[in-house]
């Protein structure tokens, strides 16, 4: 590759790295706010008996300040160019992309346009169904798969299989995580830590649960950490070791603790892990260490904000 084109290619890769990392952090930033944003939110919400609106309201004292700080961090990183952010599209690359988009739009057939419309309608159905919780999340997901495939004419088994190929490495890692968490729950490995935290007084319990959930979510998948901790807290409530009011505060601390600090590494966030195992990562030169470095400013600002909110606002 000629040197000039090499520079354009490297700059384009840097631009894409910034783009996908902002997007990956955004899934955690918005996901912590609602009942359907993350898998552990559903588990915690079900155990606590919270519906969609109640979940949003209860999480708001922590999630809204974090949302503001996260967006401000995104803006600051793009302005300063720190931590590998701030790359822009070079004029030659922008020209190629613009021409390709124009050619694609002009050559798009009626069938392809109809497929885009149906995909948009399926997305609207997904948002409404999740927002109003019209059914269990798994059934809603199955509905979207049926709608998106049938309405686009994808009805042959050999064509359906390609949609699942990209997720196979990610799924294999999930199976490993499930096995680890099954051992943790069976051996009650988290019980000593939970019992120690419950010996603390008042609001210090909430702060320590946030820190404990956050620390473990950095090195392990946050879904499983949240599942284990909310089970421990539920057992404490059933044993009358804590009040219902304290249980609600601990559930908020566990949910925010598993969602926010976990952006520090790909281990904690499913979106990061999926990105790392995707075909895109090697193409744009996005490694494990690179993801940790680019996520560092988000992890620091969002975690500190969440901790302060848990300590002084919640």
Query: Which residue is associated with the tokens 């720190």?
Result: 82
Going from the first residue of the chain to its last (314 residues), give the mean pLDDT of each consecutive group of 10, the final group possibly shorter.
76 94 92 87 90 92 96 95 90 91 89 88 89 81 86 77 73 76 77 84 91 88 84 90 93 94 87 85 92 95 96 90
Instruction: Note the Cα 283 to chain centre separation in Å.
Output: 22
3-state secondary structure at position 148: helix
Q: How many CB atoms lie within 10 A of CB 189?
A: 12
* pLDDT (0 to 100) of residue 109: 87
230-285: pLDDT as tens digits = 988 998 899 988 999 999 999 999 999 999 999 998 888 888 888 888 889 999 99
Q: Please report, for the chain, the start and end positions of each structural domain, with discontinuous segments joined by +.
A: 3-108+166-312
- Spatial distance between the Cα atoms of 19 and 183, rounded to a whole number of angstroms: 37
* pLDDT (0 to 100) of residue 2: 64
* pLDDT (0 to 100) of residue 307: 96
Q: Write out the DSSP string of 20-48.
A: HHHHHHHHHHHHTTSTTSSHHHHHHHHHH
DSSP 127: H
* pLDDT (0 to 100) of residue 82: 93
- Spatial distance between the Cα atoms of 1 and 33, rounded to a whole number of angstroms: 46
180-201: pLDDT as tens digits = 777 877 787 777 888 888 888 8
Q: Write out the DSSP string of 43-86.
A: HHHHHHT--HHHHHHHHHHHHHHHHHHHHHHHHHHHHH-GGG--
Determine the length of the chain.
314
* pLDDT (0 to 100) of residue 21: 94
- Spatial distance between the Cα atoms of 63 and 82, rounded to a whole number of angstroms: 25
* pLDDT (0 to 100) of residue 310: 95
* pLDDT (0 to 100) of residue 183: 82
């Amino acid at each position: 590759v000629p040197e000039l084109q090499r520079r354009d290619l490297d700059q384009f890769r840097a631009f894409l790295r910034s783009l996908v990392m902002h997007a990956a952090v955004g899934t955690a930033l918005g996901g912590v706010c609602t009942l359907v944003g993350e898998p552990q939110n559903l588990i915690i919400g079900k155990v606590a008996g919270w519906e969609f609106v109640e979940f949003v309201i209860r999480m708001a004292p922590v999630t809204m300040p974090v949302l503001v700080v996260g967006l401000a961090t995104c803006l600051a990183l793009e302005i300063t160019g720190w931590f590998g952010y701030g790359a822009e599209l070079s004029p030659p690359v922008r020209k190629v992309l613009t021409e390709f988009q124009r050619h694609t739009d002009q050559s798009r057939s009626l069938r392809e346009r109809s497929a885009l419309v149906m995909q948009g309608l399926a997305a609207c159905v997904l948002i409404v169904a999740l927002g109003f919780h019209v059914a269990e999340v798994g059934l809603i997901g199955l509905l979207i798969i049926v709608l998106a495939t049938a309405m686009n004419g994808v009805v042959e088994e050999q064509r359906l299989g390609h949609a699942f190929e990209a997720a196979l490495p990610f799924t294999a890692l999930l199976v490993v995580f499930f096995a680890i968490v099954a051992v943790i729950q069976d051996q009650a490995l988290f019980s000593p830590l939970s019992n120690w935290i419950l010996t603390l007084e008042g609001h210090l319990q909430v702060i320590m649960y946030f820190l404990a959930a956050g620390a473990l979510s950095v090195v392990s998948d946050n879904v499983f950490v949240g599942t284990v901790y909310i089970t421990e807290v539920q057992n404490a409530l059933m044993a009358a070791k804590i009040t219902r009011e304290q249980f609600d505060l601990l559930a908020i601390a566990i949910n925010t603790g598993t969602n926010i600090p976990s952006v520090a590494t790909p281990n904690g966030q499913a979106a990061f892990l999926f990105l790392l195992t995707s075909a895109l990562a090697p193409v744009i030169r996005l490694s494990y260490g690179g993801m940790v470095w680019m996520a560092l400013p988000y992890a620091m600002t969002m975690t500190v904000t969440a901790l302060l909110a848990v300590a002084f606002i919640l």
